[in-house]
Amino acid sequence: MNNSMISAMVSMSGIQKRLDLLAENIANMDTIGYKRKEASFEDTLMRVKSQTSTMQLPGRATPSGFELGFGSRVTGISNNFTQGSIKETGNPTDFAVEGNALFKVEIPSEGEDIVAAYTRAGDFHLQPDPDDAESMLLVNGQGHYVLNAENERIAVPAGAELKVDKQGNIFTILNGESTAAGRVQLLTPIRQEALTSVDGNLFTLVAGAVEADVLADTATLPPNQQAQVRQGAIEASNVNMVDEMAEMLQVQRAYQLAARALTSSETMSGLANNLRG
C-alpha cells in the first residue's frame, strides 16, 4: 500500500469520527443539560525523506529533504461547557445552574459501592425514601440521588413544600413552618479535561483523577466566580442545530475529497501495475 492511500485512509477514519460526534450532538439537541462534544486533530507522524547524493548538483534549487505525511487523526474528544439556554418550567423540583458548575449525584456501580457523577441536568423530582416512609428523596431524571454539600442524599419531609435560594440552600415548608435542609452541592470544574461523558448529560472523573483536584465547591470561590441556582427552570443543551448542520456539510465534503484521493491513488496503482514494456 503506497503512502497516498495510507494518508487518505487515515484522514477518512478521523473525519468519520468527527461525523459521529456531530451526529451525537444533533441527536442530543433536546437532552436537558447536554454539553456539545468537540474533536481535536493533529497530523500523524511525518517522515523526512532525504535526497540522494546524485540529486545534490551545484545550483540545484531542490531542497535536500522533504516531509512525507500520513494524514490527520483524532487526538481527543472534549465537552464544551458553555451555558445553555434557561427554560422556565414552574416545577419547584427543577433546578438550573447559572454559571460554571455541576450538580453531584450518586450512581450505582457494578457492585454495592456508590460512584459519584456530575451533571448540568436539573430535571429533578421527589420519590419515596425506601428507608423512611415519612421522607422523600430528590432524584434526577435517571433516578440517581442528588447529593448535598455533605455528600448526603437530599431528604424532604413528605408533603412539604421545597424552596431553594440562589446559593443552593434548601428550605422545606410544612404547616407554615420553614426548616433549613442543607445545600445543593455545586461543583465548579477546574480541570475540565479530567471529566468524561458517560451517559449523555452525565460526567465522571477519568481513571486516576481525584475530585478535589478536578472540581471545587462553588461556595469557596470568589463571589464573581460562584454559580447560582434558579428554581423552577432547567438548562437546555448548548447544541445549535444550524452550526452543527453547517459543520456537517463541511465535514462531508472533506470526507468526499479524501475518498476521491483514495480512489485516484488506487487507479494510479492499477495503471502502474498494468504497464508493459
pLDDT for 126-136, tens place per residue? 999 988 888 99
Q: Are residues 38 and 152 in the same domain?
A: no
Contact 2, 62 (CB under 8 A): no
Q: pTM surpassing 0.85?
A: no
**58 vs 35, which has greater pLDDT?**
35
Question: What is the model's pLDDT at position 236?
Answer: 95
pLDDT at 80 over 70: yes
Residue 48 has pLDDT above 70, yes or no: no
Backbone phi, psi, residue 185, to 5°: -80, 120
Q: Is the pLDDT of residue 67 over 80?
A: no
- pLDDT above 90 as % of the chain: 56
Radius of gyration of the chain (CA): 27
Q: What is the pLDDT of residue 53?
A: 58
Q: Are residues 196 and 118 in the same domain?
A: yes
The reported pLDDT for the residue numbered 63 is 57
Distance CA 181, CA 162 (A): 10
DSSP secondary-structure letter at 78? E
225/116 same-domain check: yes
Whether the pLDDT of residue 177 is over 70: the answer is yes
- Residue 60 clears pLDDT 70, i.e. is over it: no
The range of the structural domain enclosing residue 25 comes to 3-80+240-273
pLDDT of residue 64: 58
Counted domains in the chain:
2
One domain, residues 98 and 217: yes
145 & 48 share domain: no
213 and 266 in a single domain? The answer is no
| 92 and 68 in a common domain | no
Per the structure block, which three cell numbers stand in for 245? Answer: 448542520
CA distances from 252 to 16, 17, 30, 39 (A): 9, 12, 24, 15
Q: Is 87's pLDDT higher than 90?
A: yes
Same domain, 152 and 209: yes
